[in-house]
């Protein structure tokens, strides 16, 4: 049976990839730091994962971990992924997103294995896109406008370097907004859902504080996205770049539309909201609308879960968290 390693397995996407592994009757390997890992997202499957103690910022630690599991596939989901703090911690973000990737790629060379390695980029890498450039394609010029996006560009391109230099089987994707249960409340949709859940429990006044609301995005359910990632590892050509996410017009919305739809799903009336400066980023990315035909034509992937279910699943997740 193939060996699958998921870095960042305790995170949002990583935990859903672990669920998919187990659904396929594959027991995944996962890294955790013995003293720091938050296990909330994997508590339902913690005993079904082969755990390896590893700090991905330490190259020796990563090499020893890779030697232990010698995976056939690696889903490299470990990263600093919340955009807003990247302005205040640019070195931390570069150290994490770039260095962890280099450590992983180097470890595979040292151990003399060549697994398929998914390096998941972000639509944020494209940054300042103008309406006349839509839809975004693989060859669209990137103009990143936040430190997080720059670190993801670095992560993506170092993967390409290892493909070109050493023949590493790097699968490069740039995924657009994917949402759903387990996403941290520091992101837009879960932040709205978290506040609404608190309001419903009487823990907050019926008033939400939010950031900029007029950026438009493609939204994909995380459960659809992890299926796409699996197909990418199985089918995509190493070194090539692929854009991934829902292209359905019904899944394209502004954050204001997301917020107002979530409010409409609440069991409380008369919920209001305001944009407050502390949640507004220094720069915005108004449009992340893309053409995913390259990936779609190759893999035949098509999302099955629509926008409303994304909102319902996210709201119900935070209702359960608040309740507990």
Q: Is 71 contained in some domain?
A: yes
What share of the chain in percent tops pLDDT 70? 99
Instruction: Give the pLDDT of residue 36.
Output: 66
Q: Are residues 164 and 257 in the same domain?
A: no
- Domain containing 274 equals 188-217+249-290+305-317
The whole-angstrom separation of Cα 314 and Cα 262 is 9
Instruction: Give the pLDDT of residue 101.
Output: 98
Q: Are residues 25 and 148 in the same domain?
A: yes
Q: In terms of C-beta density within 10 A (0-12 exposed, 13-18 middle, 19 or more buried), how is residue 249 classed?
A: exposed
CA 293 to chain centre: 20
Q: Are residues 8 and 122 in the same domain?
A: yes
CATH classification of the domain holding 280: 3.90.25.10
> Token pair for residue 28?
């995944």
Q: Is 322 contained in some domain?
A: no
Q: How far, CA to CA in Å, does 234 sit from each of 74, 180, 211, 229? A: 11, 24, 38, 9
Give the tens place of pLDDT for each residue, 261-315. Answer: 999 999 999 999 999 998 898 888 877 889 999 999 999 999 999 999 999 999 9
Q: Is 295 contained in some domain?
A: no
Give the tens place of pLDDT for each residue, 201-238. Answer: 999 999 999 999 999 999 999 999 999 999 999 999 99
Instruction: Give the pLDDT of residue 82.
Output: 84
Instruction: Give the pLDDT of residue 75.
Output: 98
Confidence of residue 255 (pLDDT cuts 50, 70, 90): very high
DSSP letters for 37-81: ---GGGTTTGGGSEEEE--TT-HHHHHHHHHHH--SEEEE--S--
Give the tens place of pLDDT for each residue, 152-167. Answer: 999 999 999 999 999 9
> Token pair for residue 146?
């936040």
Give the tens place of pLDDT for each residue, 10-66. Answer: 999 999 999 999 999 999 999 988 766 689 999 999 999 999 999 999 999 999 999
Residue 111 and residue 171 in contact, taking contact as beta carbons nearer than 8 Å = no
CATH classification of the domain holding 66: 3.40.50.720
- How many domains would you assign to the chain? 2
Q: Are residues 133 and 19 in the same domain?
A: yes
The whole-angstrom separation of Cα 95 and Cα 33 is 17
Residue from 253, 207, 233, 218 nearest 299 by CA: 233
Q: Is 298 contained in some domain?
A: no
pTM confidence score? 0.96
Secondary structure (3-state) at 182: coil
Could you tell me which residues come within 8 angstroms of residue 110 by beta carbon, excluding any fewer than 6 positions away? 63, 66
Q: Are residues 225 and 213 in the same domain?
A: no
């Amino acid at each position: 049976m193939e060996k699958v390693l998921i870095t960042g397995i305790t995170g949002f996407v990583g935990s859903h990839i672990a669920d998919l592994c187990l659904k396929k009757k594959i027991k995944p390997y996962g890294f955790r730091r013995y003293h720091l890992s938050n296990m909330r997202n994997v508590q339902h499957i913690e005993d079904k994962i082969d755990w390896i103690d590893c700090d991905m910022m330490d190259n020796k630690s990563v090499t020893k971990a890779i030697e232990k599991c010698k995976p056939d596939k690696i889903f490299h989901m470990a990263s600093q992924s919340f955009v807003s703090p990247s302005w205040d911690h640019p070195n931390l973000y570069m150290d994490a997103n770039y260095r962890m990737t280099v450590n992983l790629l180097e470890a595979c060379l040292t151990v003399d294995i060549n697994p398929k390695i998914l390096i998941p980029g972000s639509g944020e890498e494209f940054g300042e896109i103008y309406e006349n450039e839509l839809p975004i394609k693989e060859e669209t010029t990137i103009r990143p406008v936040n430190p997080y996006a720059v670190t993801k560009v670095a992560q993506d391109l170092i993967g390409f370097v290892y493909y070109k230099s050493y023949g590493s089987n790097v699968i490069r994707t740039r995924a657009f907004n994917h949402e759903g249960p387990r996403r941290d409340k520091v992101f837009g949709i879960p932040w709205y859902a978290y506040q609404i859940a608190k309001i419903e429990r009487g823990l907050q006044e019926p008033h939400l504080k939010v950031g900029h609301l007029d950026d438009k995005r493609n939204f994909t359910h995380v459960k659809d996205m992890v299926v796409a990632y699996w197909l990418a590892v199985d089918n995509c050509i190493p070194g090539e770049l692929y854009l991934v996410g829902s292209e359905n017009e019904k899944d394209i919305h502004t954050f204001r539309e997301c917020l107002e739809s979530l409010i409409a799903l609440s069991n409380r009336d008369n919920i209001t909201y305001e944009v407050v400066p502390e949640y507004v980023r220094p720069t915005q990315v108004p449009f992340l609308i893309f053409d995913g035909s390259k990936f779609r034509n190759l893999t035949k992937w098509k999302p099955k879960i629509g926008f409303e279910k994304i909102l319902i699943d996210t709201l119900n997740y935070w209702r359960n968290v608040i309740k507990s």
